[in-house]
Structure 1
Amino acid sequence: MKKLAFLGLGLTLALAACQRTPTPDTPLVRTLDFTAYDTADHKLRPGKSGKLSLDAEPEYIAVSGDSSLAYVTLQESNALATVDIATGKVTALKSLGLKDHSKAGNGLDASDKDGKINIRNWPVYGAYMPDAVAAFEVGGQTYLITANEGDSRDYKGFGDEVRVAKLKLDPTAFPNAAELQQDAALGRLTVSSVDADTDGDGDADRLVAFGARSASIWRASDLSLVSDTGELFERKTAELSPSTFNSQGTAQDFDTRSDNKGPEPEGVTVGVVGGKTFAFVGLERTGGLMVLDVSNPAAPAYVDYAHFIKTDADPKSGAAGDLAPEGVLFIPASDSPSGQPLLVASHEVSGSVSVYTVAADGKLSLKGRYQAAPFQYDKGVAEISAYDKASKQLFVVNGLTGSVDLLSLADPSKPTFVKSVSLSAYGAGANSVAIKDGVIALAVEATTKTDAGKVVFLNADGSVRGQPVTVGALPDMLTFTPDGRHLLVAGEGEPSSDYSVDPAGTVSIVNVAKALEAR
C-alpha cells in the first residue's frame, strides 16, 4: 500500500508539473509610457503639457481572464488603454466620450444651495473619468465595469476647475444663461475649464462636469460603451437614505456634494454567486455599497444598497459608522474562512473595515467590522485591502502611517488586528496592495512623489520577500494577472504641486518569478 501511495503521489506531482506553463522569459520589469500617443489627437482631456505621456495619470488596472491583456483607466484624461502583456505594448487607447445629462434617465442634482433633493435633467455633459475598473466574462466575452468618480487636475501650477457661475456662457448655446447661473440651478456646479470653449472664442460652448455619477459597462474588445446606470445611484440614495443624500456620509453634510461629483462612485469589484455575476460599487462620498446584477451587461440591474452609517452622529467622533469606502474586495466562497462569499469594504475617512456576507441574490448582510483605534478622522487609516486565503489575513493599507496593517479574518464576524508592518525603508508609504498565491505585493511611492516608486514583496507573516522592484513615479493600484506570472502597476506620475516637475504616467509589468529570485 505504501508503494502504491508513493506511485500515486508521484503521478499527481507529475501531472501538476505538466499543467504548469513556464514563466514567460520577460525582463524583471518593463515600464511603459504613452509617448507614442503624443502626436495624434485622440480627443482626450488636456493637461498643462498637452502631451499624453505627461498628462495621463494611470489610475487602475483590470486584467483579462486569460492573463493576456490589461485595461488601464487614465482618469484625468477620460480614457481607457489596452496593454498587451506579452509584448509590453499599449495596443489601444480610447476617449470615453461624454455622458449627456439632458437625456431622460441621466439627470443629476447640480446644486448644493437649493436645500433639497432635486434630480433633474440639465444642459450638462459628464466626463466619465473612471477610477476603479474590473473585468468579467459573460457568454465568452470580456467586459469592463468602471466606477465613474471624476477627478480634476488641481495644482498650484495648473488647475482645470471652475464653477458655472464664473463662466461666460455662449449666448447661442445657452440663451437662458442668467437663469442657469443661479446658485439653485447650475451656478454652483463645478465643471472643466479646459473642455468648455470648443471654438476658441473665449466663452463656454458646453458644460462638462467631472465624473458621470454612475457605473458603466464597456466591451473590452473595442472599449465601446455597452450600458450605464444613469441616475440610478442618486435616485436610490435619495430613496433609501435621504438624510445623507450627496453628503460626506452624515446628515450634517446633506446635499453638500451635489455641486461636485455627487455620490462619487470610486471602487468597484465583481464576483459570481449562485451563477450570477454581481458588481459591488463603493460610493466614496455618500458612503455605502451599491450592488448590481451585471449578468446581462446591456442591462445592469439594481440589487441592493448597503451601508453602516449612523446619520445623526458627528463624523469626527468615531460614532458615525463607515465613511468613504476606498477599497472594495470580493472573496469567493471557495477562499472564504466562513465558506460563504464575502465582501470587504475599507473606509479611508472612518478608518474602518467592514465584512459583509453576500447572499445568493447578491444582497449584503453586515457580518463583522474592525475599527482602527485610536480613532483618526479622515487620515486614510484603512484604504485598500487584499486577502490571503492561506493565512486568513487581510492586508490593509494604512495611509496615515504609510504601513500595511494585518488583520485576522479567521472569524469574519470579528476582524482582529495582528500587527503593522512599516514600509518606511522603501519610501513615503504604501498606496495599494495585492495578493496572489501567498505573495503580497505593495506599491510604495518615493519620499519625493515625482521620483520612481517601488514594489515591495512580503510573506504572509509580514517579513520581506525578495528585493524591491523599481517602477514608475507614484505607483498606485497594482494587480496580479490571474495566472500569477505578472504584476501590473499603475504609475500615476502626478506633477509636483507647482508643476515644475511632471513625470510620465506609466504602466509597469513585473515578472513575479524573477522578482522573487535572489538578486
Structure 2
Amino acid sequence: MRAPAVAALVLSLSLSACVRQEAPNRPLVTTLDFTAFDAQQGTLKLRGGTPSGLLSRDAEPEYITVAPDGKTAYVTLQESNAVATLDLTRGAFTRLSNLGLKDHSAPGAGLDPSDRDGAIRIQNWPVKGAYMPDAIANFTAGGRTYLVTANEGDTRDYSAFTDEVRVSALRLDPTAFPNAAVLQADTALGRLTVSSVDADTDGDGDADQLVAFGARSLSVWTADLTRVSDTGDLFERKTAELVPAAFNSNGTASTFDTRSDNKGPEPEGVVVATVGGRPLAFVGLERTGGVMVLDLSDPARPGFLSYTNTVDVTASPQSGTAGDLGPEGLLFISAPDSPNGQPLLVVANEVSGSTTLYRVADTGALTRVGRYQVTPYAYDQGAAEIPAYDPGSKRLFVVNGAIKGLDSLNIADPAAPTLAGQIDLSRYGAGASANSVAVKNGVVAVAVQAPVKTDPGKVALLNPDGSERAPAVMVGSQPDMVTFTPDGTLILTANEGEPQGDYTVDPLGSVSIIDVAKALAAK
C-alpha cells in the first residue's frame, strides 16, 4: 500500500476512534427533580412535615461536589438532612441518603445549649442533632473517594409553617425524660431550638426525642454515605479555648454565648485541598467567625491543625472596624494557579462585606496576605458571599448581595486586592440577583435568581471582563449554587426551590446539568 494511502487509513481510524470515545449526546440543559422518590418517603424517612407533604417539594438542594472523575455528583439536601447521589453519565439520581442523627450524649459529642447561663458549658445532653449539611466537598485518601460535610443546620420558618420550637415549649415524654423539669430550665435545655416535626415519634402528642438543627461539626463519609468520622464538639471546644470572648457568638464580645441555643458556631463552608502532600479541610464558622483547618490524612480521625480568627471582638460590628464577620464562601487557589506562586485560601465574609486572602503553609497555618473591604461599608447585606477565581485574568469574582451582582477583584498582587469593576445582572431581569459564581477555562458562570424566587432561574455565561459570552440558560427555581465538572464540560446548579412564605407556591427542588459546549455555541 502506498504511503499516502496508509496515512489516510491511519487518519480515518484515528478519527473513528475519537468518535467512538465522544461523550453522550446531551441536550443543552437537563433539569432533574425528585418526584421519582415521592413514593419512597416512608422508606427513606427524610424530614418532612411540611404543608406539601411531598419529598420532591421538601427537598431543597443546597450544594454540590463532583467526584474527580466527573462521573458522579453529590448534592446536599439540607433541610431534609440528606445527600443525593447523581450519576452524570446517565443524568439520573441513583439514591437519596438519610444522614441520620448525631448523639450529643456520646463521649466527645457534647454541646452548649443555653444562651442564658452566661457561661461556656460544653457537656453531654439527651439531645440528637440532624447533620443538615450546607457545603460538601470531596477528597481522595488511600485510593478511595471520601466526602466531607459542614453540618450547619437549617430550619423551615415561614408564615404558613415552621418546624422550630424551644425545648421549654414542648411536653416531654416522662419515660424518655424523667427529669423534664430540670432539663427545661433556661440554663439547661429550655432555650435550645429543636425540630417540632421530629419530636413525637409515636404519635401520642409528646416529645420522645429532642433533635437540634445541625451537628456543629464536620463529618467524613464514604462515597456511599456511610459515616466514617465526625469532629464531635471540637469546634466549640477550640473556639472556647482560643477565642473565649466570642464563644458561640456573632463574632463579637457583645454577642457572647447568644448562639448556643441555635446551631452554636455554625460551620457552613468547607473546601478540601492537598497541601504539603496532605488533604486539608478548611471550614468557615459562620457565626463565631474564622476558619478551622483539619488534617484528613486519616479519614477516620480528622486532626486539628489550626484556627484563624482575626475579628476584633471588642469592636461594634456595625462600625466596620470589627474585621471579618460571617464567613460564607471559601475558595482554595493552588500554587500553580496562584498569582504569587503560593497556595491561597480566599474567604468571603457576608456580614462584614470583606474578602480576605490567606497564604496556606504546609503545616495548615493561615497567614493573612491581603483583604478587600466593600466601600461604603455594608453591614450584614451579603456584600461578599461566594468567590470564584480566573487564573488567566487573575480576577476574583465575588457575589455581592448588596448590589445583586458581582464584584470583580484584581488580585495580581494578592497583598493589595483592588476593585476592577462590578458586574450588573439586571440584563437578566429587573430584580434578578446573583446567588453563586464559578469559573472554568475562562468562562464565568453565575447562578441568577429570578425576581420572584419561585420562578425558574438562569445561569449567565460571561467573559472575565463581565461581557456576555453566550445567552443565559434557564434552570430550576432559585439556583443557589453553581459549579463545573473537573474537565469543564458540564455546569451544575443546585436549585433550592424554596416555597413562598404562605406556601401557595412551592417549587420542586432540582439540579440542572448544562452542556457547556452547546451553551457556548448558542446564539
TM-score, normalised on structure 2?
A: 0.95
- The secondary structure found in structure 2 opposite 1:155 is coil
- Report what 2:252 is aligned to: 250
The counterpart of 2:103, out of the listed 100, 107, 111, is: 100
Select the residue among 477, 480, 485 that pairs with 1:476.
Answer: 480
1:22 Cα shift?
4.3
The one-letter amino acid of 1:381's match is A
Deviations 1:286-321 (A, max 9, x none): 000000001111110000001220110000000000
Give the unaligned 5+ runs of structure 1: 1-13
- Name the structure 1 match of 2:239: 237
Secondary structure in 2 matching 1:465? strand
Cα distance change on mapping 1:361 and 1:19 into 2, 3 Å? farther
Deviations 1:211-270 (A, max 9, x none): 0000000101x1110000000000000000000000000001000000000000000001
Q: Deviations over 1:426-481 (max 9, x none)?
A: 14210000011111100001111000000001101111110100000000111100
CA shift for structure 1 position 20: 13
Following superposition, the deviation at residue 24 of structure 1 comes to: 3.7
1:126 counterpart (124, 129, 133): 129
Q: Which residue of 2 aligns with 1:444?
A: 448
Name the amino acid aligned to 2:276.
G
The match for 1:138 is 141
8 A Cα contact 1:23 1:513, kept in partner: no
Identical positions, percent: 65
Q: How far apart are 1:18 and its partner, in Å?
A: 7.5
How far apart in 2 are the matches of 1:183 and 1:421? 48
C-alpha deviation, 1:518, in angstroms: 2.9
Residue aligned with 1:76, SS: helix
Per-residue deviation, residues 371-409 of structure 1 (Å, max 9, x unmatched): 110001000000000000000000000011111110001
For residues 200-239 of structure 1, the aligned pairs below 5 Å read: 200-220=203-223, 222-239=224-241
- Indicate which of 106, 113, 117 corresponds to 2:116: 113
- Which residue of 1 is the match for residue 334 of structure 2? 332
Q: What is the one-letter code of the residue matched to 2:470?
A: G
Where do residues 282-321 of structure 1 align in structure 2 (5 Å cutoff)? 282-321=284-323
Change (3 A) 1:313 1:434: same
> How many matched pairs?
504
Please tell me the residue identity of whatever aligns with 1:25: N
Q: Within 2, Cα distance between the matches of 1:509 and 1:185?
A: 47
Stretches of structure 2 that go unaligned for 5 or more consecutive residues are: 1-13
Task: Output the amino acid matched with 2:235.
Answer: F
Deviation at 1:63, TM superposition (A): 0.3
Amino acid at match of 2:484: F
Q: Residue in 2 aligned with 1:5?
A: none
Deviates more, 1:417-426 or 1:61-70: 417-426
Q: Which runs of 4+ in 1 moved over 4 A?
A: 17-23
| d(CA) in 2 for partners of 1:62, 1:19 | 29
2:394 matched residue in structure 1: 392
- CA distance in structure 2 between the partners assigned to 1:20 and 1:456 by the alignment: 32
- 2 CA distance for matches of 1:460 and 1:510? 19
Alpha-carbon deviation of 1:498? 1.1
Which amino acid is 2:91 matched to? G
SS in 2 for 1:81: strand
Residue in 2 that maps onto 1:3: none
CA distance in 2, matches of 1:472, 1:19: 32
Match of 1:159 in 2: 162
Letter in 2 for 1:390: G
2:341 equivalent to 1:342: no
1:374 is aligned, of 373, 376, 390, to 376
Match of 2:171 in 1: 168
CA deviation profile, 1:40-88 (whole Å, cap 9, x unmatched): 1201110332211100000000000000000000000000010001211
Q: Normalising by structure 1, report the TM-score.
A: 0.96
**Hey, what's the Cα distance between the residues in 2 that align with 1:83 and 1:477?**
15
Among 417, 420, 427, the residue aligned to 1:418: 420
Pairing partner for 2:519 from 510, 515, 518? 515
Number of the residue aligned with 2:491: 487
Q: Which amino acid aligns with 1:58?
A: P
Kindly report which structure 2 residues correspond to 1:347-366, keeping only aligned pairs within 5 A, or say none.
Answer: 347-366=349-368
- Describe the superposition over 1:18-48 as per-residue Cα deviations: whole angstroms up to 9, x where unpaired: 7996454211000000011101120111033
Q: Could you give the per-residue CA deviations for residues 481-513 of structure 1, whole angstroms, max 9, x where no partner exists?
A: 001110110000000011110000000010011
Structure 1, residues 125-145: CA drift from partner, whole Å, max 9, x if none?
000000000011112111110
SS of equivalent to 1:498: coil
